[in-house]
Amino acid sequence: MNKPMILEVKDFSLGYTAANNELVSVLRNVSLDIEAGEAIGLVGESGCGKSTLALAMMAFLRSGSQVQNGQIRYHGSNLFEKTEKQLGKLRGGKIGLIPQNAGQSLTPTMKIHAQLAEALRLHSDLPRSTWHQRSLELLKQVRLPAPDAMLQRYPHQLSGGQQQRVAIAMALAGSPDLLVLDEPTTGLDVTTQAHILELLCNLRQELGMTMVFVSHDLGAVARISDRIAVMYAGEIIELGSCADVLRTPAHPYTRGLLNSIPRLDAEGLPPSLPGYPPKVGSVKQGCAFAPRCTHATEQCQQDAALVAENSHAVRCHRSGDLRRESASINVIQLPVKPTLEPLLNIEELQISYHKAGLLDQWRNIEPPVATVDEINLQLNKGETLALVGESGSGKSTIMKAISGIQAPRKGQIELGNEDLSIAVEKRSNQLKRNVQMIFQNPDASLNPRHTVCEILQQPLKLYFGLNHESCRQRAAELLELVRLAPHYLDRMPGQLSGGEKQRVAIARCFAGDPDLILCDEVTSALDVSVQAAVLKLLKELQQQKGVTYLFIAHDLAVVKAIADQVAVLYQGRLCQIGPVDEVFNGVHHPYTSALLNAVLAPDPEHQPKLSGDDASEQHPPAQGCAYQRRCPQADQTCSEQSPPWRNDGNNRIRCHHDLLELTLRNNSPELIEVANF
Amino acid sequence: MLKLILQRLGLAVFTLFTVCVLVFGVTEALPGDVCTAFLGRDAQGTRLENCRQQRNLDQPALQRFADWGTGVLQGDLGTSLKRDKSINDLVATRMRNTAVLGFGAAMIGIPLAIILGVMAALRRDKPADMMISGTSIFAMTIPEFVTATVLIFIFSIQLQWFPAVTTVRHNAPIADLIPNIILPMITLALVMMAHILRMIRSAMIDVMASDFVQMARLKGVPYWHIVFLHALPSAMLPAINIIALTIAWLLGGVVIIEQVFNYPGIGTLMIRAIYDRDLPLVQAIALILAAVYVLCNLLADLSSLALNPRLRTAR
């Protein structure tokens, strides 16, 4: 009954030599057997060693790393005993890799056809004359439109989803039997992600490939894998079927991780995991998770037992008890009462990046359609408004206009009674203080050469003119506000973890005591367990200080957890706006339903519904509805006239179809067909 | 694409015009003029008047600039004072000689610099890299006339392989120049290599650490294919401007090296012209050198367009 093993990881440890010449283990005694044809998901948070393990399956070690013990056998033979030449034949051939960031993994100076031809030359027996034909077939196989034109392009001319598809086609060129996918959908839009996952599922069925799917996103893993291996601090701590691991997780870490994922169908904020993962190589004995574990006993400090029940293996002494305990999620409710006092008012905002050159002015060329147009938003004090939409939907552009970096072409932005449509250089200190921003990536937004104290002092000096002593005092208070101890004052950002850095960034933003805070994807660079803690912190601060958030996020579940109002944007135009519950649960604009349907949940049963395609557009259409080209329900009117606003209580939708029609189409498209007869 | 090229071309023309104005303006601002310089002590009375009339120096400056400018546009650089010959004739053969020298040096120096730079990058911090990098830093710090002198000492005086100074006339056929050209060519190549090599080395180290190179490895692309097909084109980008600047700088270096080897090129001619206060000739040579400079930068811009699809193709 046993299928042959395609890949066996046997007691595999891998380490690198640290600065003090000590060998630091990145992977510790990992064992994993992969059957031919199965899809296995490797999940865990950043630094847990999942990517290292995946690359080791291709016998690729980062420079400075070495195998400490154990082996990885592919079809029975140890990969690390093969010569460089044999490995070259395997890599990209029988073992294919789909990289995390296709945009950076495709050679920028080579056209797509050259890169595909290279793969065919190296890894197939096809004669040169058939390469072109085969390349076309491969591009069709990954569902790329207009493959002929695609071949003649450079990677930068493709959208993120297209680049990922090309990377998949390139892996398929070697007709692999094992496909290693290293975070293949991270960094893509929800809809694109859903389409890529769908493609991968289909390809697996068509070609019967074995897949190793590495991701931090349990939702994406659930979509594709038969089995899931959860990794923590370089070990596999739980291994079992997709349903077992996701439904009845038996390791406290897996539980905590699953609980910290915000979900569309849950109310309130998800609970976060306390503490931080151990530093690489710092765990010498006992269970690596014990310091963070609420179930830990003394035994856990000594060793970590591997408990297996049927095919569900868990590295935990307490898993037996945990299995019996029901896995209930205690969501955190932090009700914030928004006031009715209006704070931010945006009227008919239009923004364009296009600057008419002299030549264009002479030739009287029509400027291209504005990037962002007809934006009307009202925000009360103490409220949270989330802007959602795919990349290129104008979320960040609107934020740039509010922060004064990008001048609007038309329209009004007002904060209370003050005009915000002026450039940031012309704003008074008072106004600058009042509008603060938290950025996506704290690594880039904190100066790496300043201590935390210096970082926090700058706004204090600038806005309040505090002297050195009181500055330090105030900076310590700010750290307390974001739940960091005062000894962090003298640390450098490089010495902090991702979550701690983002806390410092939040503290800096609160240093100005602002009314309005612009949050640009503040949690998307963080691990889920840390994300939950940061979201909770933001909400608590809002409760405490009554600040208003304008929140950009691509994760709709995060939006659900934190926002009061949500505005759905497509190509710089509003599609739908209203209170979160009504927008998510009420009638949907076709684009809103496309977004919501593409959301993944860490549930093996959950299947995203795809509507339309994921083609990305460069420019909004000159007339009619912005979403006309991708909308499955678009008709003649949609391409000619601007759609009207339709109100369903506070839930406002901009669409030519009326509310009843939209409700029917969302719920059961087939009913419409019947009704039309 | 076309727009970009036209923009660059327009910029080049504008730069050249500015250079013309500057060159003319500077000679105009110098005390005295060609006649006082030429006549020396005799520069007074009717001789000066005659001389000035003869060379149209009694005309207003703007008029003379216009005349000179139209001449330049028509390819007529004017008349040399001292030699009383057309500057075009004087310059043509010397320009040819310098071009042969510079071109030869570039042909040896640039590919060698690229290859050595790549080698150094691939063997980073290993003995080969240390030797290449160390030598190139050393080469950078030595002035070219020292290198030239050392080369003359070794190859002309000790080994007696090549002549130490050029003895042929400026209008000798290229074949006659060959033995004379080798030492100056090596000197030039050595001096220009150092900068290019170091630039290529650092760019190559960056590119070899990039995601697409790692991916190429994981696609099973053989090592040397990765180096030359995937990595080098990207690594060349930052080096191109350095190459252009080095070639342009070479024009300055050429003056000294030609002087050391007594090579009949444009540099030697320029030194003589300055020595003789032959202002029209100096003016013409300055303009030519500026034109070559601008041309080099233009070529650099165009080749970065060719190498970088991001610049060349819209999204």
Strand-pair category, A548-552 with A384-388: parallel
Rounded Cα gap, residues A514 and A251, in angstroms? 42
Task: Pull the structure tokens for residue A444.
Answer: 């880039």
Residue A12 falls within a domain, yes or no?
yes
Residue A543 falls within a domain, yes or no?
no
Burial annotation A465-476 (CB, 10 A radius, 16+ → b, else e): ebeeeebbebbb
Residue spans of the domains in chain B: they are 93-312
Residue A550 falls within a domain, yes or no?
no
Do residues A595 and A583 make contact, with C-beta atoms less than 8 angstroms apart?
no
CATH code where residue A200 lies: 3.40.50.300
Which regions of A484-540 does DSSP assign to beta strands (E)? 516-520
Task: Specify whether A10 is located in the same domain as A102.
Answer: no
Task: Specify whether A360 is located in the same domain as A298.
Answer: no
Alpha carbon of A655 to those of A489, A588, A609, A621: distances in Å?
Answer: 52, 10, 21, 15
Residue A559 falls within a domain, yes or no?
no
The answer to pTM > 0.90 is: no
Residue A528 falls within a domain, yes or no?
no
Task: Give every CB contact of residue A654 below 8 A, 6+ residues apart in sequence.
Answer: A573, A574, A575, A576, A589, A625, A643, A644, A645, A646
Residue A671 falls within a domain, yes or no?
yes
pLDDT of A677: 42
Task: Provide the domain limits for residue A641.
Answer: 572-676
pLDDT of A10: 92
Classified as helix, coil or strand, A556 is: helix
Residues of B with CB under 8 A from a CB of A: 210-212, 214-223, 225, 229-230, 233-234, 307-310, 313-315
Task: Specify whether A231 is located in the same domain as A252.
Answer: no
CB contact under 8 A, A88 and B309: no
Phi, then psi, of A214 in degrees rounded to 5: -95, 125
CATH annotation of B93-312: 1.10.3720.10
Number of domains in chain A: 5
Taking the Cβ of residue A417 and every Cβ of chain B, the question of whether any pair is shorter than 8 Å is answered with no
Taking CB atoms and an 8 Å cutoff, what residues of chain A touch B234?
107-109
pLDDT of A1: 45
Task: Specify whether A346 is located in the same domain as A455.
Answer: yes
Rounded Cα gap, residues A238 and A253, in angstroms? 9
Phi, then psi, of A102 in degrees rounded to 5: -60, -35
Q: How many CB pairs under 8 A join A and B?
A: 79
Task: Specify whether A184 is located in the same domain as A327.
Answer: no
pLDDT of A617: 65
Taking CB atoms and an 8 Å cutoff, what residues of chain A touch B304?
none
Task: Specify whether A391 is located in the same domain as A494.
Answer: yes
Taking the Cβ of residue A110 and every Cβ of chain B, the question of whether any pair is shorter than 8 Å is answered with yes
pLDDT of B315: 46
Do residues A413 and A421 make contact, with C-beta atoms less than 8 angstroms apart?
yes
- Residue A301 has a CB neighbour count (10 Å cut-off) of 13
Q: Which residues of chain A, if any, have pLDDT below 70?
A: 1-3, 324-331, 336, 338, 356-361, 363-365, 611-618, 666-677
Residue A530 falls within a domain, yes or no?
no
Taking CB atoms and an 8 Å cutoff, what residues of chain A touch B314?
157
pLDDT of A669: 52
Question: pLDDT by residue for chain B (315 residues), tens digit each?
Answer: 677 788 888 888 888 888 888 888 887 777 766 677 667 666 677 777 777 777 777 777 788 888 878 888 887 777 776 667 788 888 888 888 888 888 888 888 889 999 999 999 999 888 989 999 888 888 888 887 888 888 888 888 888 888 877 777 777 777 777 778 888 888 888 888 888 898 899 999 999 999 999 999 999 999 999 999 999 988 988 888 888 888 777 777 788 888 888 888 888 888 888 777 777 788 888 888 888 888 888 888 888 887 777 777 654
CB contact under 8 A, B220 and A90: yes
Residue A320 falls within a domain, yes or no?
yes
Task: Specify whether A47 is located in the same domain as A162.
Answer: no
Task: Specify whether A374 is located in the same domain as A489.
Answer: yes
Whether ipTM tops 0.85, in short, is no
Phi, then psi, of A452 in degrees rounded to 5: -55, -40
Rounded Cα gap, residues B228 and A114, in angstroms? 14
Taking CB atoms and an 8 Å cutoff, what residues of chain B touch A93?
220
Rounded Cα gap, residues A94 and B229, in angstroms? 23
